[in-house]
Amino acid sequence: MVRWICVLVLSLTLAVPAGAEMRVPESRVEISMGFVPVVKEAAPAVVNIYARRVVNTRSSPFRGDPFFDEFFRDFSGARPRVENSLGSGVILSADGIVVSNYHVVGMATDIRVVLNDRREFEARVLLSDEESDLAILKLEGAEGMPALELRDSDTVEVGELVLAIGNPFGVGQTVTSGIVSGLARSGAATGNARGYFIQTDAPINPGNSGGALVDIEGRLVGINTRILSRSGGSNGIGFAIPAALVAQFVAQAEAGNTAFERPWAGISGQPVTADMAEGMGLNVPGGIIISQLHPASPFAAAGFQAGDVITAVDGQAVNAAPEMIYRMSVAGIGGETRVTRVRDGAAEDVVLRLGAAPEVPPRDVTETGARSVIPGMTVGNINPAVIAELDLPLMAEGVVVLEPGRAGLRAGLRQGDILRGINGAAVEVPGMVEPMLEASGRWLSLDVQRGTQRSTLRFRL
């Protein structure tokens, strides 16, 4: 009995090339090879990335002081400093399209990519997105590159064997093995990345970022992005961005986009809890209950109402807003998605046409002049596109600070602040801001909304 159990376990860990038939290993040589065939297939397409950027930093004797740092931050001279980052990437096409993490190559001025066979290429960023923590690169002068096949990540199941390939700690290309230990992890990763992640217990360490998570047929199922750790090392919980989203990034990069465009939902809501489920006619808690809809939302156009529950998108269950946005992002702008709605206990599938957040009304961007009380401040109308970009309240209206400028920052203004009034008069359009500032006497009063909080800033001129 023990012998047959051992044979079964070994048969599961034996890697096979794409298209090959899974079978019990027939010899000691086959058993000893382990994951060798899949590593030989996948490793040449995983690259090391060395990125560099120059940033201007200010040195101050009060740096870090909770009181004086705020007042003296603009008085010290800016000094250029070189920041280096080390990570991994995956080649996806023979002509040198590479995917990596935004936190590896974002804002880099110099990117060098080193292949498994030690060839080196300069690279440039085609498209990047901080929120998704993905970036698409193009190797200069590359042709005939080894590339990985993308697998439909919706077919990945918990318990599948996977390999993580990357360059941890800069020691060189390294392969670790494990299983898929969780799916639909939203909000679990650290940093700026938000959305839906594949969780794995394959050891992932600093430097693995941007590397490949592959199945036992050598197909890419995800891009390693983060670890959950208190010590900074792998504790058995790593996160990968699914290949389905990577495919959408590649499609937009090849279409000429330089920034990732995700469909706009135009709704707000909250997860359905166990206490709420019974009153909504749900057998089990799950889904998102809609609390607000913007008038321009595609959900509003499809007949959704506040109180409706969204339980699935394209047949995949959703229990949090990041999961829903992920599903919509995979479908892409201009595509259609099938949303399962529950209203009064009855479930119904509704087809939505997806699009970007509309630029209506026009932004009408205006910048204050050099002689203004607050020079160099840029303001504009609030529209759905601005709401999405600046993460404003869904139903926000009015005039928003797009860039406060140095004087605006010193005055306490921040990007995303909504200007409700100047010296007691309501601000209705961007063009009113500069004349109202010029009309200030000895005092300036700004009525500002930040998020859901309102406050008044007063200054003596």
**The one catalytic residue among 129, 133, 417, 447:** 133
- Distance separating alpha carbons of residues 81 and 75, to the nearest angstrom: 18
> Which residues are 49's β-sheet partners?
87, 113
Q: Count other C-beta atoms under 10 Å from residue 396's C-beta.
A: 19
What single-letter DSSP state applies at residue 168? Answer: G
Q: Phi first, then psi: give them for residue 163, nearest 5 degrees.
A: -120, 140
Residue type, 314: D
Residue 25 and residue 31 in contact, taking contact as beta carbons nearer than 8 Å: yes
Q: HSE-up of 65 (CA within 13 Å, CB side)?
A: 12
- Distance separating alpha carbons of residues 451 and 102, to the nearest angstrom: 27
Cα distances from 429 to residues 235, 325, 357, 383, 434, in angstroms, run 53, 31, 20, 12, 11
What single-letter DSSP state applies at residue 150? Answer: B
Helices 243-254 and 321-331 pack at an angle, to 10 degrees, of: 40
- Distance separating alpha carbons of residues 311 and 36, to the nearest angstrom: 42
Tokens at residue 267, please?
A: 């709704």
Residue 153 and residue 222 in contact, taking contact as beta carbons nearer than 8 Å: yes
209 catalytic residue (yes or no) = yes
Residue 390 CA to its chain's centroid (Å): 15
Cα(first)–Cα(last) distance of the chain, in Å? Answer: 88
- Distance separating alpha carbons of residues 209 and 228, to the nearest angstrom: 13
60 catalytic residue (yes or no) = no
Q: Count other C-beta atoms under 10 Å from residue 57's C-beta.
A: 12
**The one catalytic residue among 103, 132, 181, 186:** 103
What single-letter DSSP state applies at residue 431? Answer: G
**The one catalytic residue among 153, 177, 181, 209:** 209
- Distance separating alpha carbons of residues 168 and 390, to the nearest angstrom: 34
**Strands 212-214 vs 161-166: parallel, antiparallel or unpaired:** antiparallel
- Distance separating alpha carbons of residues 190 and 205, to the nearest angstrom: 14
Residue 409 CA to its chain's centroid (Å): 27
- Active site residue ranges: 103, 133, 209
